[in-house]
Structure 1
């Protein structure tokens, strides 16, 4: 695809507003991509509005989110590149497996069906949701302290608190319950077509200090693709936590994504 660049759709995960992708949008547009940052169904346009109306996103599950983004993709003139963080990374993988994307980058992606490791740090990160079974149908907010453990453990406390104040919103509990039960359900919405050999290339990115999606989860995800001959690669940022897409080191991760897209022939010749 020399000389052209497919559109890029950024998919946020739980607890971060879609506008948190703004610096990435600016960088990727400078590189020649049209970019979109649609929120999950029910997410309000601003952080403030999303915090004021948590019920609007409550009880939204994985399938709801996949169908929402599939509709966005259907309006585009060509298949996009999908870049998802956390649960957004799971959504990106599902859509790639459905042949709806030219390529996908899943950053610290939530566990898909078949991934067995569940480290203690991941359990602690999601405890605010699992502490109450009724949260399956509710939207749940994190405290600044909970955010620091789940997202900001690899940055200074002051930076973590600033990220919390700027970007966090309530998140539906349902996707977490669905992912947790995935290996006990033959028709789990967390199931991804990892055997699809005709799909576009996939890059998995992991943060070596991530508490929410520890490296064991991402490495186990990579193994799920072992029966596919399609391109599947892994990049690790050893000193980064779950906030790697929004903290002060975001540019290093974004540059790695652009470089990888270039290797796949998905960057224009004039890209920065």
Structure 2
């Protein structure tokens, strides 16, 4: 397998948060010589406060399907001059896995990734974090906005109230229940036996919504077929890993991995 030669990075945002959460990562990777993009999802290319003002009657976002999100990123990627490196967080991590499977990326880094179809967790924190957003008894005609209390538990557990509040105001946006439910279907199926470009999983042992054990289970599903598949767990990291003061630890680890493969 060829080394990763790409100098283009596409950052892929997860659910519940604005794509601007990648801003410091983009600046850092660009300082290392990479060209970067962090496209918003369809229906989400607006400031977080604007998107929250549309809650809960943003019908465009409420009707969004996960297949549309995947195709949106695929189109952007295929218009680039080279196959990029994909770096995704949470549902963006699963998106990176699925796009890597399509053969349109040079490599992928899945940070605290959401699981593909059939990879499950029964950890209490996982079920508690996702019960309201999935809303099994709620209408898909309205979007879901995490309450501050939900955000404190699912994303920013262990941080001070002031940091949690600031992060909430800057990052939190409404989400499509339809997209979230689609991740339980064949739209998110991974062929774990299929050869793929290099793939790195990064997890954190304090993550409530995407526990490290779930990330490890995702990683272990891949078959030994000659493809590079690696896993790294960091201590003390919650789901707000991209915005923690220690975010460069993950960024540097990813950079070093890219340069070695």
TM-score (norm 1): 0.89
Q: Structure 1 residue 254: deviation in Å?
A: 1.1
Specify the SS of the correspondent of 1:40.
coil
Write the distance in 2 (CA, Å) between the matches of 1:46 and 1:100: 29
Counterpart of 1:49 in structure 2 is 50
Q: Structure 1 residue 196: deviation in Å?
A: 1.9
Q: Structure 1 residue 257: deviation in Å?
A: 1.1
Write the distance in 1 (CA, Å) between the matches of 2:234 and 2:142: 33
Alignment of 1:8-157 (within 5 A): 8-54=9-55, 55=58, 56-131=60-135, 133-157=137-161
Could you say if the C-alpha distance between residues 60 and 228 of structure 1 is closer, same or farther in structure 2, counting changes exceeding 3 Å? Answer: farther
Q: Structure 1 residue 256: deviation in Å?
A: 1.2
Write the distance in 2 (CA, Å) between the matches of 1:230 and 1:149: 36
Is 2:11–2:86's contact at 8 Å kept on the other side of the alignment? Answer: yes
- Deviation track 1:94-117 (CA, whole Å, cap 9, x = no partner) reads 000110100000011111123132
Is 2:4–2:259's contact at 8 Å kept on the other side of the alignment? Answer: no
Counterpart of 1:249 in structure 2 is 246
Aligned residues: 257
Segments ≥4 residues shifted beyond 4 Å:
1-5
Write the distance in 2 (CA, Å) between the matches of 1:123 and 1:116: 10
Write the distance in 1 (CA, Å) between the matches of 2:102 and 2:126: 28
Tell me how large the CA RMSD over aligned residues is.
1.8
Could you say if the C-alpha distance between residues 236 and 111 of structure 1 is closer, same or farther in structure 2, counting changes exceeding 3 Å? Answer: same
Specify the SS of the correspondent of 2:17.
coil
Is 1:97–1:194's contact at 8 Å kept on the other side of the alignment? Answer: no
Counterpart of 1:160 in structure 2 is 164
Runs (5+) with no aligned partner, structure 1: 183-187, 265-272
Specify the SS of the correspondent of 1:32.
coil
Counterpart of 2:234 in structure 1 is 237
Could you say if the C-alpha distance between residues 3 and 212 of structure 1 is closer, same or farther in structure 2, counting changes exceeding 3 Å? Answer: closer
Write the distance in 2 (CA, Å) between the matches of 1:89 and 1:262: 20
Specify the SS of the correspondent of 2:242.
coil
Could you say if the C-alpha distance between residues 24 and 135 of structure 1 is closer, same or farther in structure 2, counting changes exceeding 3 Å? Answer: farther
Specify the SS of the correspondent of 2:220.
helix
Is 1:81–1:101's contact at 8 Å kept on the other side of the alignment? Answer: yes
- Deviation track 1:32-73 (CA, whole Å, cap 9, x = no partner) reads 111001011111232222222341321222211110000101
Is 2:140–2:177's contact at 8 Å kept on the other side of the alignment? Answer: yes
| Residue among 221, 225, 237 paired with 2:222 | 225
Runs (5+) with no aligned partner, structure 2: none
